Amino acid sequence: MPWEARADYTRSVAVPKILLFYVFTPLADPEALRLWQRDLCTSLGLRGRILLSPHGINGTLGGELADVKRWLRTTREYAPFRDLDAKWSDGTGDDFPRLSVKVRDEIVAFGAPGELRVDEDGVVGGGEKIGPDELHELVAREEVTFLDGRNEFESRIGRFRGAVVPDVATTREFVAELDSGRWDHLKETPVVTYCTGGVRCEVLTSLMTARGFERVYQLDGGVVRYGERFGDDGLWDGSLYVFDRRGSVEFSDHAAVLGRCVDCGEPTSRMQNCSDPQCREQLVVCAPCGGQSAVLCEPHRASGVPSPA
Ligand SMILES: [Zn+2]
Ligand SMILES: [Zn+2]
């Protein structure tokens, strides 16, 4: 094999990985940590998103396996990040357009930064954490309600069987949803919340507990860790929506296809943005329909052609 070809081969066998991580812990100087993290990620060639707040760190990064490992080792050397919860998955090598490291009021945008309490052990007053195996034990023992802790659109292509799905377009709408009284009938029954990697449920379950929900559990490690353990042979159906260029991931070759194309009705797990350039709505659209023409969300469909950018 010529040397040039061999060099290309070496590049192609590189191992692109994606890391999903968070930890709730009091941080005195998030801005200083932002500068440190930005430089660290840049020096390792990582891309993705990191949010820091006085309550912790939350993010997702993509890069070479060896580089992401170095990031994780270095980041965990900082004592407050020692217990960083990290979940690996396979990337494509081009999963994020850029690196973004920001300081915000919240590392998950519930719009309730004043309500969240965090100490060295994490979120104060959250639901009991249960792993995939404990979840199965609980379900075998009693009747539980699964509450989807994600945005409604994420559930269209995958969810726990029988889950109730609050009608929220963004995480910010959860507080109003809980205060609406719509879920009060669940206050005395066992409720298991779940989200992609567990970070949203940390906050959601603390908000629920504060509002009188008495038996709240949160799926530790989220759907990602559940999928690693049980794949498509447990209580989960379909694909998992992810916030990077992969769009969604499956846990096996026999994942159920729950989504239906908004245009033609064919089963698909593919999602794309509403074609109106101003719109952030995510729609289930099959590849042929997505390739053919503009696909609009309901409000934009009603108002006709997409407005110019
Ligand atoms: Zn279609
Ligand atoms: Zn739209």
Ligand nearest to the CA of 298: 2
In which residue are the tokens 């205060």 written? 179
Lay out the sheet containing 128-130: strands in order across. Answer: 128-130, 216-219, 191-194, 145-148
Separation CA 147–CA 153 (nearest Å): 14
Could you tell me how far CA 271 lies from the centroid of its own chain?
A: 15
Q: How confident is the model at residue 294 (pLDDT cuts 50, 70, 90)?
A: confident
pLDDT tens track for 230-261: 999 999 999 999 999 899 999 999 999 999 99
Long-range interactions of 278-282: CB distance < 8 A, separation 24+ = 278/307, 278/309, 281/153, 281/169, 282/153, 282/154, 282/241
Residue 268 in tokens: 């698909």
Cα of 227 to ligand 1 centre, how many Å?
27
Cα of 112 to ligand 1 centre, how many Å?
39
Cα of 248 to ligand 1 centre, how many Å?
17
Cα of 299 to ligand 2 centre, how many Å?
6
Q: Is the pLDDT of residue 169 over 80?
A: yes
Nearest to 46 by CA among 118, 110, 117, 101: 101
Ligand nearest to the CA of 276: 2
Cα of 274 to ligand 1 centre, how many Å?
14
What is residue 174's three-state secondary structure?
A: helix
Other beta carbons less than 10 A from residue 69's beta carbon: 15
Separation CA 207–CA 249 (nearest Å): 29
Cα of 280 to ligand 2 centre, how many Å?
7
pLDDT tens track for 32-91: 999 999 999 999 999 999 999 999 999 999 999 999 999 999 999 999 999 999 999 999
Res 305: pLDDT: 56
Q: Is the pLDDT of residue 307 over 90?
A: no
Q: Is the pLDDT of residue 268 over 70?
A: yes
Res 12: pLDDT: 47
Residue 211 in tokens: 């509002």
Nearest to 252 by CA among 226, 271, 219: 226
What is residue 61's three-state secondary structure?
A: strand
Q: Which residues contact 229 (CB under 8 A, 6 or more apart)?
A: 131, 132, 133
For 241, left (φ over 0), alpha (ψ -120 to 50), or beta? beta
Res 6: pLDDT: 44
- Mean pLDDT over all residues of the chain? 93
Ligand nearest to the CA of 283: 2
Cα of 270 to ligand 1 centre, how many Å?
10
Q: Is the pLDDT of residue 265 over 70?
A: yes
Cα of 284 to ligand 1 centre, how many Å?
9
Q: How confident is the model at residue 8 (pLDDT cuts 50, 70, 90)?
A: very low
Asked if residues 38 and 88 have their Cβ atoms less than 8 Å apart, the reply is: no
Active site residues: 195
Query: Is the model more confident about 92 or about 13?
Result: 92
Lay out the sheet containing 99-103: strands in order across. Answer: 85-90, 16-24, 56-64, 47-53, 99-103
Could you tell me how far CA 126 lies from the centroid of its own chain?
A: 18
Question: Is the pTM higher than 0.75?
Answer: yes
Beta-strand runs (E) in the chain: 16-24, 47-53, 56-64, 85-90, 99-103, 118-119, 122-123, 128-130, 145-148, 158-160, 191-194, 216-219, 236-238, 240-241, 248-249, 271-273, 282-284
Cα of 249 to ligand 1 centre, how many Å?
19
Ligand nearest to the CA of 297: 2
Expressed in angstroms, the distance from the first to the final Cα of the chain is 50
Indicate if the alpha-carbon torsion angle 32, 98, 105, 123 is positive or negative.
negative
Asked if residues 38 and 99 have their Cβ atoms less than 8 Å apart, the reply is: yes
Res 100: pLDDT: 98
Nearest to 280 by CA among 196, 203, 201, 170: 170
Say how many CA atoms lie within 13 Å of 197 toward its Cβ: 19
- Residues measured by CB to lie within 5 Å of ligand 1, the ion: 261, 263-264, 266, 286, 289
Ligand nearest to the CA of 291: 1
